[in-house]
Amino acid sequence: MRTHLCGTLRSEDVGTRATVCGWVAKRREHGEHLAFIDLRDHTGIVQCVVPGTVDVRSEYVVAVEGEVRLRPAGTTNPDLPTGEVELHDCTVTVLNAAEPPPFPVDDRVDVDEVIRLKHRFVDLRRPTMQANLRLRAKVNSSLRAAMDRQGFLEVETPLLWAPTPEGAREFAVPSRLHHGSCYVLPQSPQLAKQLLMVAGVDRYYQVARCLRDEDLRADRQFEFSQLDIEASFVTQEDVLSFVSEAVLDAAEAATGQRPGPVPTMTWAEAMDRYGTDKPDIRFAMELVDLTAVFATTEFRAFSAPCVKAIVLDGGAGLSRSRLDALTDRAKALGAKGLAWFKVTQNEDGVTGIESPVAKFLSDDEQSGLVAATGATVGDLILTVADDYRLTCHVLGALRLELGGRPVSEGPYAYLWVVDFPMFDGVDDAGNPVAAHHPFTMPHPEDIDRLESDPASVRSQAYDLVLNGWELGSGSVRVHRADIQARIFSVLGISDEEAASRFGFLLGAFRFGAPPHAGFAVGLDRLVAIFAGEDNIREVIAFPKTQSGWDPMTDAPKPLAAGALRDLGLQPIPKLD
């Protein structure tokens, strides 16, 4: 039907007759003897010259036949890759007329999200969205190639799986043949891939769809894709190497540049220095520990288990209302308050601090504060005093708000965060909660303290971070029944409970489970960052709104009565 693609025509093609197909991006009529059509396909736009009037409108689907020629002197368009040439003396065939589009099909305006999603098929015609779809395919393909090259086997796993009441809320799929019972859609293929290790697959990967019925965010949709990986007879170092290879390849495929080796940081160091387990290491503004400075303070607000600070260079000029807003933000994040100190200089050139709480601090504490933070005249020091986790959480968030840049802005700073804690807090019954999942192998140096001091036990779990976004996580798995039993015991999971929840996995492990470890890389986030997008919706063909609504299909919708009956379902009124 066509001989060329619109965006690919160049001066080398001059003299050839060409037929191109696409959508009318723009029509410009100059009377009865001349008209221009800018024709768009997925490769770009080319100008077609028609010797007369032309009965087309924006977004008509047309085929245009003409001769490629250099544009007349003085009429080239440097803004178009095809700007040196044009299709001349064209014949236009309308393949399909179109109503005016609901919004402009270009990248110049930010259209309301609902309108874009309702007409996603139009939205995706825009050059940026086309580029995002194509970038995603390219990244996807480079990841697959990297895994193939490293000896991994692609295996698909079921979407209809069994409930595993641990972790994220699952989407349920009622069974027609088994009234009252449900499958669930997998929050990840975690258990399936471990079974594949027992099955001797050795090295597995899959670009897997994962589904989690949790609240949506800029970096979270109900359904998302992971490069899911699992390998047998490997160490943590091996997994980090496999994944690094894949994501560095992906970066190179996406951007043309290969970042350097991925640095590694322990979880403890990440929390200490950045207040988060997913630090954006593109900028410093690190947390400073002041606990020692205020160890004997008379100031009640600072007599806490942990006192930390961040310094905003040149921040002493911040207005009172801005500081109040920061204080409100800190409180919203859980802090009791936020103490700020402007580093000032008096007429004699002596450095001092200006703060509503300065009068509560001794001279030594004031000078110690400035010395420890390294702040200089004109800077702003923000301090939080609370327990360790909360202090880190609040200052880590303020650090990002005050010093951070959009996630999608280069450079691309990958980071491995290793040695996560095995447990994170306690549940209602006072039992420790698994930080990763209950099949995570404890750190070999800490395993003896599993029962005596679980809070101090590190695990062989690790995260990959890119520009402050968690790109994925993984762990070395428990493959020995004795260690697994000890972990379940610490978690307060009885033998019966373990058997009912994970019986098929534990059963399989009795038949020869190899040591194994794995990882999963969030594909949507990875592509979004490379695409320069701060929301993964922009790299997903048909995403949902933050409330989980699809304006195009109007899903979710009530089921017809007959369908409900087939599934053995009956709606009940919404509970308050």
Binding site for RNA (CB under 7 A): 26, 28-34, 36, 38, 47, 49, 57-58, 71-72, 74-77, 79-80, 83, 86, 88, 100, 102-104, 108-115, 166-169, 187-188, 190, 212, 214-220, 332-334, 393, 397, 424, 433-438, 535, 537, 545-547, 549
SS3 392: helix
CB of 111 to RNA, least distance (A): 4
Name which of 76 and 408 has its Cβ closer to RNA. 76
Compare residues 167 and 259 and give the one whose CB is closer to RNA.
167
Shortest distance, position 114 Cβ to RNA, whole Å: 5
**Which phi and psi angles does 473 have, rounded to 5°?**
-150, 160
315 versus 396: smaller Cβ distance to RNA: 396
C-alpha distances out from residue 388 to 21, 88, 308, 380, 396, Å: 62, 71, 9, 22, 12
Please, what is the minimum distance in Å from the beta carbon of residue 97 to RNA? Answer: 10
Q: Supply the minimum distance, in Å, between the C-beta of residue 102 and RNA.
A: 5
Instruction: Give the whole-angstrom CA distance, residue 175 versus residue 190.
Output: 23
Which one-letter amino acid corresponds to residue 247? V
CB of 246 to RNA, least distance (A): 20
Distance between CA 344 and CA 353 in Å, rounded? 6
| Closest residue by Cα to residue 65 from 119, 2, 156, 11 | 2
* 3-state secondary structure at position 354: strand
> Cβ closer to RNA: 424 or 495?
424
Nearer to RNA, 95 or 332 (CB): 332
Indicate the residue among 237 and 328 with the shorter CB distance to RNA.
328
Residue closer to RNA (CB basis): 258 or 504: 504
Shortest Å, Cβ 166 to RNA? 4
Q: How far is the CB of 544 from RNA (least distance, A)?
A: 8
- Smallest gap, in angstroms, from Cβ of residue 34 to RNA? 4
66, 90, 551 from 113: Cα distances, Å: 39, 38, 9
**Residue 443 or 537: which CB sits closer to RNA?**
537
User: At its nearest, how many Å lie between RNA and the CB of residue 78?
Assistant: 9
Strand ranges for 85-188 from DSSP E: 85-96, 153-154, 172-174, 182-184
Q: Which is nearer to RNA, 148 or 324 (CB)?
A: 324
CB 242 to RNA: min, Å: 19
Which residue's CB is nearer to RNA, number 327 or number 545?
Answer: 545
Distance in angstroms (rounded) separating the CA atoms of residues 307 and 505: 45
Closest C-alpha to 340, from 330, 354, 329: 354
Residue of 513, 517, 449, 445 whose CA lies nearest to 487:
449
521 closest CA partner among 464, 468, 469, 477: 464
Residue closer to RNA (CB basis): 29 or 445? 29
- Give the nearer residue to RNA in terms of CB position, either 203 or 212: 212
Do 435 and 420 form a contact (C-beta atoms < 8 A)? yes
Closest contact distance (angstroms) between CB of 191 and RNA is 7
Looking at residue 234, its amino acid is: V
Axis crossing angle, helix 523-531 with helix 127-149, rounded to the nearest 10: 130
d(CA 277, CA 264): 12
Rounded CA-CA distance 130/541 in Å is: 10
CA dihedral angle for residue 124, residue 129, residue 135, residue 136, rounded to 10 degrees: -60
At 476, phi and psi to the nearest 5? -80, 135
Is the Cβ–Cβ distance between 59 and 101 less than 8 Å? yes
What the block records as the tokens of 524 is 């949507």
* Terminal CA-CA length for the chain: 59
Provide the greatest CA pair distance for the chain.
90
Task: Mark 185-210 as b/e (b = at least 16 C-beta within 10 Å).
Answer: bbbbbbbbbbbbbbeebbbbbbbbbb
Residue closer to RNA by CB (options 344, 489) is: 489
Helix or strand holding residue 22 (H, E): strand 17-29
Measured from the CB atom, the residue of 350 and 429 that comes closer to RNA is 429
Cα–Cα distances (Å) from 466 to 244, 271, 310, 399, 455, in that order, read 12, 16, 22, 17, 28
